């Protein structure tokens, strides 16, 4: 690893010579070059002077300062900068120590590894590292690197010292107008959110990778081999109304091992409560109308129809199991049998009434004939 800056850490009267190494590598991220679409040639960027229109070599490129809102450019040389009072030009001066929680992550800029520069720096380097670890503190100071002074934070990490350059407080924009106001949250929603946080578990850094970079590499490989490019899967687009509680419940179940499909469907859950309610009201209204029409129509057997509807409702309400279906079928058979029994009973009762009326008529006829016979005998 190549050192990018050599300096020292000033810790009271102790000076620790250090070498600085870049702690991050952004070369692995996706980057594209500019090309001419007509012929595919790469476009070059040249330094052109605005006055004479000629290309300027690197050795003739200097620095200049232009104030905001002003067109005037003031040339600044390296000799001018070297005369400025900047004690942090080669030294990271520690100003104080603080708890890590006191540093706003918004201020974090770049990270660097610091290593001891020479054998004499090994002991004070290890002393500062152990003091930061045991005291659970970070060091705050100032350092000048690459022509500018920055705040810096030192912390112990994995047996080494790490320096984070920090943004100045006035470089952090206010959050005014970003966050919503007066949002009412229910207790069960907050409980579900906290349960989801606990269910997700710890993060495994080994499983983190750049999916977009892999997709770009596959795209490039397919183009080089002349293969057709597979279309990207279409995601859910557009704003949707969500049922927050249902989404949280599904997310918790998915985090506890519910499967990938359930996890994907847990992000947005449409509210269907009102639609279902209206549908139920429409079904009840239709049933009421059909019942009224059945009452008005003469000669229609409404009893068997009611008998048919009853088991249908029970079957729909029953669980979808073999036992539930058998129970619904048995109920339907019993209801149908009851309807048939009532029909046969009504038929028997009608026949019996007709027989009784016929017998009564015969009895009256016999009595009338007997009276007439007795009158004739008397005469």
Residues 151/88, Cβ–Cβ less than 8 Å: no
* Torsion on CA atoms 304, 306, 307, 312, rounded to nearest 10: 130
Indicate the burial class of 327 (C-beta count within 10 angstroms; 0-12, 13-18, 19 or more). Answer: middle
Residues 304/339, Cβ–Cβ less than 8 Å: yes
Instruction: Give the pLDDT confidence score for residue 298 in this predicted structure.
Output: 46
Residues 128/11, Cβ–Cβ less than 8 Å: yes
pLDDT grade, residue 249 (50/70/90)? confident
CA distance 188 to 244: 11
Instruction: Give the pLDDT confidence score for residue 307 in this predicted structure.
Output: 42
CA distance 165 to 82: 22
E strands in the chain: 5-11, 14-22, 63-66, 73-76, 91-98, 108-116, 138-145, 148-157, 160-166
Residues 237/256, Cβ–Cβ less than 8 Å: no
- Residues 6 or more apart in contact with residue 145 via CB below 8 angstroms: 5, 20, 165
State how far the alpha carbon of 239 is from the alpha carbons of 130, 235, 251, 267, 303, in Å: 52, 12, 19, 12, 51
CA distance 343 to 215: 74
CA distance 234 to 347: 67
Please name the residue that has the structure tokens 């992550």: 105
202-222 pLDDT tens trace: 888 888 888 888 888 888 888
164-197 pLDDT tens trace: 999 999 999 999 989 888 889 889 889 988 888 8
CA distance 77 to 27: 31
pLDDT surpasses 60 at 120 = yes
Taken in order 345, 347, 348, 353, the sign of the CA dihedral is: positive
Is the entire prediction scored with pTM above 0.85?
no
Please report, for the chain, how many H helices and E strands are present, in that order. 9, 9
Which of 86-90, 106-110, 315-319, 375-379 has the lowest average pLDDT?
315-319
**Which carries the bigger pLDDT value, residue 374 or residue 98?**
98
Closest CA to 154 of 167, 166, 169: 166
- Average pLDDT score, the chain: 74
């Amino acid at each position: 690893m190549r050192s990018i800056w050599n300096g020292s850490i000033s810790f009271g009267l102790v000076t620790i010579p250090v070498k600085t190494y870049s702690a991050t590598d952004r070369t692995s991220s996706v980057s594209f070059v500019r090309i001419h679409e007509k012929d595919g040639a790469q476009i070059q960027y040249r330094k052109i002077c605005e006055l004479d229109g000629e290309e300027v070599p690197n050795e003739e490129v200097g620095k200049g300062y232009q104030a905001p809102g002003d067109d005037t450019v003031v040339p600044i040389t390296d000799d001018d900068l070297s005369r400025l009072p900047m004690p942090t030009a080669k030294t990271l001066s520690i100003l104080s120590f603080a708890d890590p929680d006191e540093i706003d992550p918004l201020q974090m800029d770049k990270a660097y590894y610091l290593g001891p520069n020479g054998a004499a720096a090994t002991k004070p380097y290890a002393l500062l590292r152990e003091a930061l670890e045991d005291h659970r503190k970070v060091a705050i100071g100032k350092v000048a690197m690459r022509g500018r002074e920055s705040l810096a934070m030192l912390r112990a990490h994995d047996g080494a010292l790490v320096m984070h350059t920090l943004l100045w407080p006035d470089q952090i924009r206010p959050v005014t107008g970003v966050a919503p106001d007066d949002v009412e949250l229910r207790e069960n929603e907050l409980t579900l959110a906290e349960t989801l946080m606990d269910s997700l578990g710890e993060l495994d850094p080994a499983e983190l990778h750049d999916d977009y970079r892999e997709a770009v590499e596959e795209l490039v490989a397919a183009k080089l081999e002349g293969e057709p490019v597979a279309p990207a899967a279409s995601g859910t687009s557009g704003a949707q109304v969500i049922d927050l509680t249902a989404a949280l419940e599904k997310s918790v179940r998915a985090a506890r091992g519910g499967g990938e499909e359930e996890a994907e469907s847990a992000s947005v859950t449409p509210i269907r409560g009102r639609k279902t309610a209206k549908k139920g009201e429409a079904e009840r209204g239709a049933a009421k109308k059909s019942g009224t029409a059945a009452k008005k129509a003469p000669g229609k057997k409404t009893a068997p129809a009611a008998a048919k509807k009853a088991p249908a409702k029970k079957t729909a309400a029953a669980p979808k199991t073999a036992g539930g279906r058998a129970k619904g079928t048995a109920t339907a058979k019993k209801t149908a049998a009851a309807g048939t029994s009532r029909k046969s009973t009504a038929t028997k009762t009608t026949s019996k009434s007709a027989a009784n009326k016929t017998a009564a008529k015969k009895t009256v006829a016999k009595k009338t004939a007997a009276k007439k016979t007795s009158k004739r005998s008397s005469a």
